[in-house]
Each structure stands twice: as structure tokens, then as C-alpha cells.
């Protein structure tokens, strides 16, 4: 059984669909009930098994209730993908306290709460895998991404802490560090901030990656599938860039 947070769209939806195609029963942990239902409908239409579980990952009581429900339904937890996250544009000076708290609540506290709920269940199962969605912002500085980079740096260090603390319990923990990935969020961001210049800015964002384009959710999902599979059983505590050459050139 696999839990994917924030699986109502973009990378999370692609991961849920990819895992389901490989035979996993996927729980779609998502605050937006309509988006979760759409993901479940797509998975089931393709012959997979998925269940929508409404949950705000920044709410401790909601997370506890969701994991209790899922465990009662499935009886075990094999994989947790902490994908839910939000973005923010700004420097340290332009970021407000409210901005920082909002980013922290989802991107950091959400990973903490879901991992905290999953780990005892994985230990009782004799092992499991936690995969976190970090970012190249965990590894390099990005202009105007102060709060977002802070949060993804925390995801990277949480990944390594979980890996060393639970290796003897048969639990692996890794994270993926994507560069820009073309998701509905990107399209919405361009419409909101660059009306009439969407295509120009899309090309600018795309060419930031030396390979000349953004990644796709399915490409990230393919890496997620590998890292959560038995074929990756010798890998833990690692950060995997999927960045179109950003870190090389």
C-alpha cells in the first residue's frame, strides 16, 4: 500500500498513477477533495486501485485521523511519498512572517507529521520506504525563492535524519530534487503574473534548464517508482537531482 500526499495534480498525480499501474493500491492524500476524486477516477479508469483521503497535511489531527483510517482499511503501509508542497516567490526582505509560516506549515511540518504517522506502522510491518519531494533549491541558491528554498533544505535534512534513525528498522528514506517541472501550477503562475507574456516567460523558464525544457511529472514519477522499488533496496539517505543539467553546467 502506498500513500502519496498532494496527489490531486501535477507530480503527485503522476506518481499515484505510475504506482497504481505497477500494482500498488494508492491512497491519494489531498486537501482538495475534487482534485483527489479526479486522480482516483483517472487511476481506476486505467485499471488501477486508488482511494481518496481528504487531509490537510499541516493539520496534526487531520493527519492522525487520515493515517488511522488508511491503516484500518489496508492493514499495512509500505510506501509514503511526501509530495504535498506550496511555492513562494520572494527574497528574505520581501517575505512576510505570514508567508514563512504558510510555507513552513505545508512543506516542512507536513512532511514531519506524515512521516511521524507512517514510521510506527512501517516498523510494525518490518520495513518500508519514505520518499520526499525536495528540490534543486535544496542544493543551490535560487533567485527570489528564500522561503521555498528554506523549506526544501529542511526536507533534505529530514530525509537524511530519517534514513540514519530508521535504517536498522528496514526503512529507507530518500528525496528527489527536481528543477522546473511543467505542471498546472506553472501555467497558473504564468497566467497570474505575466498576462499576455505567458509564452515568452514559459520559454524563459524552460531554457533555465540546459537541456532546453522543463521536466515532466511522468519523468519524476519514473524516478520515484525506482527509488520506492526493491531494485533500489541498497539506496537510502540520498538526494537525487532530476534537473535537465542545471547542477552540471
Catalytic residues: 148
List, edge to edge, every strand of the sheet that includes 49-54.
49-54, 25-30, 2-5, 79-82, 128-133, 171-178, 239-242
| Spatial distance between the Cα atoms of 78 and 98, rounded to a whole number of angstroms | 35
| Spatial distance between the Cα atoms of 28 and 2, rounded to a whole number of angstroms | 9
Cell readout for 117 is 504517522
| Spatial distance between the Cα atoms of 113 and 64, rounded to a whole number of angstroms | 8
Is there a contact between 176 and 133 (Cβ–Cβ < 8 Å)?
yes
Is there a contact between 54 and 33 (Cβ–Cβ < 8 Å)?
yes
| Angle subtended by helix axes 110-125 and 60-74, to nearest 10 | 30
Residue 80 sits at the vertex; the CA angle it makes with 77 and 85, to the nearest 5 degrees, is 150
3-class SS of residue 170: coil
Cell readout for 27 is 491512497
| Spatial distance between the Cα atoms of 188 and 172, rounded to a whole number of angstroms | 35
Amino acid at each position: 500500500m502506498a500513500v502519496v500526499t498532494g496527489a490531486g495534480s501535477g507530480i503527485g498525480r503522476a506518481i499515484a498513477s505510475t504506482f497504481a499501474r505497477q500494482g500498488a493500491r494508492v491512497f491519494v492524500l489531498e486537501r482538495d477533495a475534487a482534485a483527489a476524486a479526479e486522480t482516483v477516477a483517472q487511476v481506476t479508469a486505467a485499471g488501477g486501485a486508488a482511494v481518496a483521503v481528504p487531509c490537510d497535511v499541516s493539520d496534526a489531527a487531520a493527519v492522525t485521523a487520515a493515517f488511522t483510517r488508511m491503516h484500518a482499511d489496508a492493514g499495512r503501509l509500505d510506501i509514503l511519498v511526501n509530495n504535498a508542497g506550496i511555492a513562494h516567490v520572494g527574497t528574505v526582505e520581501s517575505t512576510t512572517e505570514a508567508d514563512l509560516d504558510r510555507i513552513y506549515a505545508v512543506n516542512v511540518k507536513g512532511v514531519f507529521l506524515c512521516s511521524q504517522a507512517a514510521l510506527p506502522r512501517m516498523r510494525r510491518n518490518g520495513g518500508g520506504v519514505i520518499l520526499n519531494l525536495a528540490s534543486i533549491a535544496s542544493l543551490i541558491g535560487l533567485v527570489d525563492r528564500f522561503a521555498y528554498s528554506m523549506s526544501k533544505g529542511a526536507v533534505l535534512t529530514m530525509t537524511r535524519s530519517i534514513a540514519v534513525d530508521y535504517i536498522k528498522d528496514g526503512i529507507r528514506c530518500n528525496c528527489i530534487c527536481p528543477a522546473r517541472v511543467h505542471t498546472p501550477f506553472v501555467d497558473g503562475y504564468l497566467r497570474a503574473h505575466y498576462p499576455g507574456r505567458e509564452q515568452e516567460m514559459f520559454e524563459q523558464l524552460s531554457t533555465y534548464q540546459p537541456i532546453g525544457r522543463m521536466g515532466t511529472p511522468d519523468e519524476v514519477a519514473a524516478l520515484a517508482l525506482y527509488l520506492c522499488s526493491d531494485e533500489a533496496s541498497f539506496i537510502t539517505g540520498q538526494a537525487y537531482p532530476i534537473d535537465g543539467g542545471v547542477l552540471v553546467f
